[in-house]
Amino acid sequence: MQDFGTKVEVNIEDELKSSFLDYSMSVIISRALPDVRDGLKPVHRRILYAMYSEGILSNRRYSKCAGVVGEVLKKYHPHGDTAVYDTLVRLAQNFNMRYPMIDGQGNFGSIDGDPPAAYRYTEARLARIAEEMLADIEKETVDFIPNFDESTQEPGILPARVPNLLINGSAGIAVGMATNIPPHNLREVVDGLIALIKDPNISPSALMKYIPGPDFPTGGFIHGRGGIKTAYTTGKGIIHVRGKVLVETHPRTNKTSLIIVEIPYQLNKTRLIERIADLIRNKKLEGISDLRDESDREGMRLVIDLKRDADPAVVRNQLYKHTPLQDSFGINMLAVVDGRPQVLTLKRMLGLYLKHRREVVTRRCLFDLRKAEDREHILNGLKMALDQLDAVITLIRESKTPPEAKNGLIKKFKFTERQAQAILDMRLQRLTGLERQKILDELKEVRKDIKRLREILGSETKILEVINRELQEVKERYGDDRRTEILAETEEIGIEDLIVEEDMVVTISHTGYIKRNPVSLYRAQHRGGKGKTGMGTKEEDFVEDLFVASTKSNILFFTNRGKVYCRKVHEIPQAGRSAKGKAMVNFLDIEQGEQVQAVLPVKKFEDGRYILIATAKGLVKKTDLMAYQNIRVCGLIACIIENGDELIAARLTDGQREVFLASRQGKAVRFKEDQVRPMGRAARGVRGMKLAKGDQVISMEVLSEGATILTATENGYGKRTNTDEYTLHSRSGQGMIAIRTSDRNGQVVSALQVTDEDEVMGITNKGKIIRMSVRDISVIGRATQGVRLVSLEGGEKLSAVCRLAEKED
């Protein structure tokens, strides 16, 4: 029976912990994470060293990748050939590596995600910059360790004359941790290292003046510096990157196209194209007529042809919002430091690299000093021999054997064993005068080198000067311009950025239905026409308000109770011409019994502008526009409304205009706005017009030069009157007659200012809309009855006349 040895009982939990920790550390140290000193994982280091050892250098011919992979597997990396070849390929890809370490020949894959050719077809050699990683490795600058089978040795680290960890970055997933270090610009990193050498106490913000942020090989934009600063000061942060999209107009066809010339780092171009195509098919991307890839050796060029009516800015924002053309990059600066994984700040990472270079330079100087001192020793012996040449030659001639001659030189002339051997090895041509002088000159130069090396080794400042000089040489030799542009601020793409800006007709019914439609839906008609239905309503309902505004404008909704709500025009539901729209109670968070009485399109909030409010009882109030900038979803108080009163109008003003109030019984008053002082949102206001019993204010206008007042009555009659006919009075007066409210005319429904260039909309209580040119309406006296504006059917009444607003309004 076979004896398997003594059994040892262990706790399975303890064994699992121990085994898993051993496995984890093996993955972390020996596979997944880069060393902070040379920025390489073991497999990268082994590939570079194997190629260096085989003499596959930048100035030699290319060598088959199959041979490189075989050499790495044979001597250094006991893993699969696929892992080694994939790593070698990535080191050669200029879209993955900011500064490629391998110079490849053949198919090494593409940014489209095409795989590389098999390693039997491709060839490679070291890039020049990779040789800088291995420079001075033969001068005992780094420690060597046994390979996996102890048949040879491999470097535990590379001398790394270039700061590889930052300039090429690194990505890797270990056990329970991951690293994701972005690539940087070599010139900037060198400048940062030099600044740290000059001032070891430099602040992170000062360091960022030299290293402003990552520099990706594929270019693009980084939006915002906040994530960069967080990453550099804590080791972790998130940055937002975007591809570069240009707008081109074809000179012959005048068609507009979006050209994608740069994409975010590590984005597969083919997948981006497929994503855009899917969005076009699913109608999530509109305004695109064609998509094609015109990329070639000159660079990337994805062409997106736009339809005639498409807005390039909106389509570009849709691309950023719905495709990986805008992405986030999570920075996690994790690297191996003294055999342990650590999250590093930018300054500490640079400091650890400089510490490594100090050690490399020190060890190199010690090696060179040792070699120089050894050479000096030999040259001193040769010089002594030349000084007493005849005696030395005589001794050698009289000696029977070389050992006898060697011993004789040592005993008689006090040469060391190595000096004596060097004398015996010296060729006769060295005895000529010219050769003797060369020995003396060489001795002089060697002594200079020894003095220089001792000075360097005796001074920390001198060592840093050497590092500084070598970094400058690397910068001049391999440095290039930044490819990734860093923009100062990040602007989140909101729903507004995805909306095409166009004018919309917004209609609101008396019972609280709202909708929007393009203004082009309504065609102009002549005065007296039958009109076109603009909103389907119930018999007891009628269209109460209508205005035109841009899709990106803010809309302030003022209710009869003095509250104000804010929404965007594009948030209003779009419905057909005959549809009712959406119930206001479902669109705004309004209270029961509350009704919207006035709406005000505001393109943007700015200082020096006011909102003027009027109530049915003749009160007016002026409030700074900025007071309405931040309105909650549930609304704010715009004006304190007394019992029996209600808000009827709100207008934008600059505070220096004239105000016009009109009442239902045909009265009007005109006064200067500066008679109303600015007050807070919660104020009640002051009297603007004194009303007769049973009368109420139905309209308020802020007058403009050259305008006329269009007054309309419920029976479809109206007129235009010059504003000069309304005498300027102080506020709080009863006013004067604006139009005769006879049986023919009925009560006044609207009084608004218009110009000859305006068009107006007339709305009836049955939901019909007629669009009229103001030029077709007569300008007549103030106290007259007016002319027919709208032909009404039996029982139909005119409910309102509204001016088609300009975009700026």
What's the angle, vertex CA 735, arms to CA 730 and CA 736, rounded to 5? 135
Residue 191 tokens, joined: 């400048």
Q: Residue type at 531? A: G
What's the angle, vertex CA 425, arms to CA 420 and CA 430, rounded to 5? 105
Name the E strands within 410-469.
none
Q: Give the separation between CA 388 and CA 390, rounded to whole angstroms.
A: 6
Contact 70, 86 (CB under 8 A): no
CA atoms within 13 A on the CB side of 129: 24
Contact 780, 740 (CB under 8 A): no
Residues facing residue 485 across a β-bridge: 221
Contact 310, 286 (CB under 8 A): yes
From 791, 788, 761, 785, select the one nearest 774 (Cα to Cα). Answer: 761
Q: How far is CA 56 from the centre of its chain?
A: 40
3-state secondary structure of 671: strand
Cβ burial 702-711 (10 Å sphere, 16+ → b, else e): bbeeebbbbb
CA-based end-to-end distance of the chain: 101
From 183, 232, 185, select the one nearest 207 (Cα to Cα). Answer: 232
If 0-12 CB within 10 Å is exposed, 13-18 middle and 19+ buried, where does residue 59 land?
A: exposed
Q: Give the separation between CA 660 and CA 751, rounded to whole angstroms.
A: 9
Q: How far is CA 406 from the centre of its chain?
A: 76
Contact 590, 582 (CB under 8 A): no
Q: Which residues lie closer than 8 Å to 174 by C-beta, 6 or more apart?
A: 24, 27, 28, 31, 32, 33, 341
Asked if 565 is an active-site residue, the reply is no
Question: Which entry of 121, 320, 513, 717 is annotated as an active-site residue?
Answer: 121
Q: Give the separation between CA 130 and CA 38, rounded to whole angstroms.
A: 11
Q: Give the separation between CA 271 and CA 637, rounded to whole angstroms.
A: 51
Residue 146 tokens, joined: 């046994």
- In the numeric block, the tokens 């290292």 are attached to 193
Q: Which long-range contacts (CB under 8 A, 24 or more apart) does 627-634 make?
A: 627/680, 627/681, 628/556, 628/564, 628/566, 628/602, 628/681, 629/605, 631/556, 631/564, 631/565, 631/566, 633/565, 633/589, 634/589
Contact 772, 759 (CB under 8 A): yes
Tell me the Cα Rg of the chain. Answer: 43
Active site residues: 121
